[in-house]
Chains A and B, each alone.
Chain A
Amino acid sequence: MNYELRTTNLIISNSPHLKTKMTTPYIMRHVVYALIPAAIASVFFFKYRAIFLILNCVLSSVLTEEVVLRMRKQPSTVKDVSAALTGLLLALILPPSIKWYAASLGSIFAILVGKQIFGGLGVNILNPALIGRAFLMAAYPKMLTTFISPFTIDTISSATPLALRKFSQTITPTIDLFLGNISGSLGETSAICLIIGGLYLLIRKIADWRIPLCVIFTTILISTIFYFINPINGSVFFHLFSGGLLIGVFFMATDPVTTPVTKKGRYIFGVGVAAFIMIIRYFGGLPEGTMYAILFFNALTPLINRYTKPRRFE
């Protein structure tokens, strides 16, 4: 059959005419996929609490974003999955025993102050999920530092491995840290699940490898030195697998919006975050410092970008 050309149907646009199939929703969706192992582990360890907490945070986040966008008279962005991702991430870094209203409030704060106040997707300076958690840390410090053991229904508090190290000089066995059979935030307990998710992100080229690798190597370096100074400081694996380090490294420190765009900047960011985490863990008043380390370097990101402009081709 012979087709006649209808010139009125022709699209006129600027070059290039080919574009990658990767889109922003695609990236966000795959980060959610990468979090599925950790989410499943959380349900395995913390049962219905995990399901409720995840649903609560995701729904609160998406709803907040919708309401704010209506008020700002902007088109809905539910489809770009970013609000749902923020909710999911927040749920995974909260203690399983947190009260429902606190979790909702944290999600609302994360979207409202962490993201929409700056103008929405792409222009926020700090990681919204971490902002939500930092807010709850200030609003409900008791709730945010009370953790329960896995497989328990009652709220019998149990210290996290990092708190045990800091306050009672007890080191948790590495295998428990690796599998996740420890008390801690909902999705950060199982190292293996987070590593699987992280590798997925790196292999699918959703996230850049520079930041995660720099954080991990720097952590290994620092913790080795401190382990040799005194074994009670915790081994390399203890520091890699405990607390929020892995979820922070793979899912927060790779958030494109709040981390440097330049390659050099990403190396600086990675090394800096790891150094800060270790400083807080060894010398700070808190047992864990991933959240503050990442937030601090989020704030430094515009500056890092400015001073790490790529070298001109000459």
Chain B
Amino acid sequence: MINIEEYKDPQHHIETSKFLNPKKLYLPLSQHTGKPSIACVKRGDMVEEAAQIAESSAFISTNLHAPKKGKILNIDTWFHPNLKKSEAIFMDCLDQESNYQTRGNIESLKKEELIDIIKNNGIVGLGGAAFPTYVKLSPPKEIDTFIINGCECEPYLACDYRLMKENLNEIFIGIEIINKIIQPKKIIFAIEENKRDILEKIKSLMVNKKYNLPSIEIAVLKTAYPQGGEKQLIYATTKRKVAGGKLPFDTGCLVHNVATLFAIYEAIYLNKPLIERLVSFAGDSLVSPKNVWVKIGTTLKEIFDQKILKFKDSPKKIICGGPMMGVSLNKLDYPILKGTGGFLFLNKEISEVEESPCIRCGRCLDSCPMNLMPLEYAKRIKVEEYDRLEEYNINDCMECGCCTYTCPSKIPIVQYIKVGKKYLPTSS
């Protein structure tokens, strides 16, 4: 764990705005962990807002819906922040608002029906990994602890904070739904110390007893990175460790991000699929950093063309995601995906100090949340020595970037680790 400057100002305390009228949308079929979805529309089709346009293709996959009413222009390859290029559905949108009606008799919905609605509406984890939510809700083992992740430990990003600030009621309804589905023994709401005002709001909501919930334990964690990582969060709140290669349910825990809970609320109550999300736009190259509700598939280019954002100077780096795990981009044509929490436009904070020899200071070791020895990986992978990496548990590494952040020699350790993982000798 490391302490990093947060850089959450000013987007932290600016009210969210909306940009829900894009002209064009580019919807990659691979926006989630797992197999890409399969398009179920063809060129020239007219689709209504919220109509399904691609369907789940495997157990770990999900559906995709039209974020706006419009015409399918094409299905072709388009830029993708993580994959560089991937198959995507191109859409031309009509400037029309859609209304969502509250679903009746929600009380009578059964567990399986709730999971089905979540599955059909294409809900994935909105914390970054975009893992299909319904899979997490039907675990092969009993879940006794449900943890709500409100940490948002990456610097700059503030969309989860703003969502908790403005839509805590809806998040609580989401908690209610999950509670009904998995019936855990314990519910823990985890936030970092730097979000104390949310703590008060949660307490007052709990006093009201408006929600059909058992008592929720609030865990105030120290502000550190990567406090919001699933494994770190489970350890910090329950002292249970999710070992390398294991999944959270192995320890009886289920973690959901607050934004996912909001999406679950919308799916169940409004029958609204996951077609828009709150995204942080931040960094010192923007005139006014802010959090904006945008349609999935909107490109950065369109956001700038519509003057939703303006550059103050020319950024040195554009990053999709947080500064610790995000991907740097080379153009503005990239679309917003379901799992995109933010875009950063950085100039002054980017310093490219040249790499120098490792002085074995051990800072990478001290900072590693998974108790690894990052310097060993860098040393070995540099000379293409891949055979003993597994002895040092290289696959436990989640590439959080703490080691590289703290390295005084500016060695791109995470980059070496990524290479090393690809060249591991195939063991039986």
- In the complex, chain A residues whose CB is within 8 Å of the CB of B373: 261-262, 309-310
* Contact size range, B: 35 or more
Select the stretch in A10-18, A57-65, A280-288 that faces chain B. A10-18
Please tell me if the beta carbons of B393 and A15 are within 8 angstroms of each other in the complex. Answer: no
Q: Judging by beta carbons under 8 Å apart, are A11 and B406 in contact?
A: no
- In the complex, chain A residues whose CB is within 8 Å of the CB of B372: 310
CB distance from B352 to the nearest CB of A (A): 7
- Nearest residue (CB) in B for A208 is B362
Q: Which residues of B sit under 8 angstroms from A15, Cβ to Cβ?
A: 321, 323-328, 399, 401, 404, 414
Q: How far is the CB of B52 from chain A (nearest CB, A)?
A: 33
> Contact at A2–B310, with CB atoms within 8 Å?
yes
For residue B156, which residue of chain A has the nearest CB? A18
User: With A18-B405, A208-B362, A261-B373 known to touch, is A12 a contact of B311 (CB < 8 Å)?
Assistant: no
B357 contacts A121, CB within 8 Å?
yes
Whether, in the assembled complex, B318 has its beta carbon less than 8 Å from a beta carbon of chain A, the answer is: yes
Query: Across the interface, do A24 and B359 meet the contact criterion of CB distance under 8 Å?
Result: yes
B112 close to chain A: CB less than 8 A = no
Tell me, in angstroms, the Cα distance from A5 to B243 when the chains sit together: 44
Pairwise interchain contact B328-A11, C-beta atoms closer than 8 A:
yes
- Mask, B169-211, CB within 8 Å of A = 1, is 0000000000000000000000000000000000000000000
The 8 A CB mask of A11-41 against B (1 = contact, 0 = none) is 1111111111111101100000000000000
In the complex with contacts A15-B327, A313-B243, A10-B318 CB distance below 8 A: yes
What does DSSP make chain B's interface, helix, strand, loop or mixed?
loop
- B332, CB-defined interface residue at 8 Å: yes
| A256 contacts B366, C-beta separation under 8 Å | no
Flag B323-354 by CB within 8 Å of A: 1 or 0 each: 11111111110000000000010100111110
Please name the residue on chain A nearest to B345 by beta carbon: A5
Whether the Cβ atoms of B366 and A263 lie closer than 8 Å is: yes
Contacts of B317 in A (CB 8 A): 10-11, 13, 17
Other-chain contact of A14, B350, B393, B414 (Cβ < 8 Å): B414
Residues of B360-386 whose CB lies within 8 A of A: 360-362, 365-366, 368-373, 375
What is the chain A residue whose CB lies nearest that of B365? A261
Is B319 engaged at the interface, CB distance under 8 Å to the other chain? yes
Hey, which chain A residues are within 8 Å of B370, CB to CB?
313
Q: Determine if A257 and B360 form an interchain contact, defined as CB atoms under 8 angstroms apart.
A: yes
Is B44 among interface residues, defined by CB-CB distance under 8 A? no
Interface residues in B225-251 by Cβ distance below 8 A to A read 231, 235, 241, 243-244, 246
Are B241 and A314 within 8 A (Cβ)? yes
Residues of A within 8 A of B319 (CB): 17
**B315 nearest CB across to chain A (Å):** 7
Task: Tell yes or no: A6 within 8 A of B by CB.
Answer: yes
Q: A20-B406, A313-B241 are in contact. Are A6 and B365 (CB under 8 A)?
A: no
Contact between B332 and A27, CB atoms less than 8 A apart: no
| Whole-angstrom CA separation of A123 from B328 in the bound complex | 33
User: Does B252 reach chain A (CB closer than 8 Å)?
Assistant: no
In the complex, the chain B residue whose C-beta lies closest to that of A28 is: B359
Shortest CB-to-CB span from B347 to chain A, Å, is 10
Distance in Å: Cβ of B145 to nearest Cβ of chain A:
18
Q: Which residues of B contact A21 (CB under 8 A)?
A: 351
Across-interface contacts of B325 in A (CB, < 8 A): 15-16
A311 at the interface (CB under 8 A from B): yes
Of the candidates B312, B346, B351, the one whose C-beta lies within 8 Å of that of A19 is B351
Q: Is B155 part of the contact surface with A, judged by Cβ < 8 Å? A: yes
User: Which residues of A sit under 8 angstroms from B328, Cβ to Cβ?
Assistant: 10-15, 17
Whether, in the assembled complex, A80 has its beta carbon less than 8 Å from a beta carbon of chain B, the answer is yes
Contact with B along A132-169 (1 / 0, CB 8 A): 00000000000000000000000000000000000000
Q: How far is the CA of A17 from the CA of B370 in the complex (A)?
A: 20
The verdict on A204 contacting chain B, using a C-beta distance below 8 Å, is no
- Check A9/B357 contact, CB under 8 A, given A17-B326, A262-B365: no
Nearest neighbor of A16 in chain B, beta-carbon distance: B401
Whole-angstrom distance from the CB of B357 to the nearest CB of chain A?
Answer: 4
Interface residues of A in 111-136 (CB under 8 A from B): 120-123
Closest partner residue, chain B, to A301 (CB atom) = B360
Name the A residues within 8 Å of B271 (CB-CB): none
A290 to B330, CA, bound (A): 55
Residue of B with least CB distance to A311: B371
* Contact residues of A between 272 and 314, Cβ < 8 Å to B: 309-314
With CB as the reference atom, state the residue of chain A lying closest to B312. A3
Docked pose: A12 CA to B315 CA in angstroms:
12
Chain A residues, CB < 8 A from B369 = 313
Question: CB-nearest residue of chain A relative to B231?
Answer: A313
Asked whether B408 is an interface residue with its Cβ less than 8 Å from the other chain, the reply is yes
- Is B349's CB under 8 angstroms from A18's CB? yes
B346 touching A17, Cβ below 8 Å: yes
Closest 9 CB pairs of A and B: A16-B401, A314-B243, A261-B362, A256-B361, A122-B357, A3-B311, A14-B415, A310-B371, A16-B324
Q: A5-B315, A7-B331 given; name 11 further pairs at CB < 8 Å.
A: A3-B314, A5-B304, A6-B314, A7-B330, A10-B318, A14-B418, A17-B344, A24-B409, A27-B361, A256-B361, A311-B371
Q: List 6 A-B contacts (CB under 8 A).
A: A16-B405, A18-B4, A19-B407, A27-B359, A208-B362, A256-B362
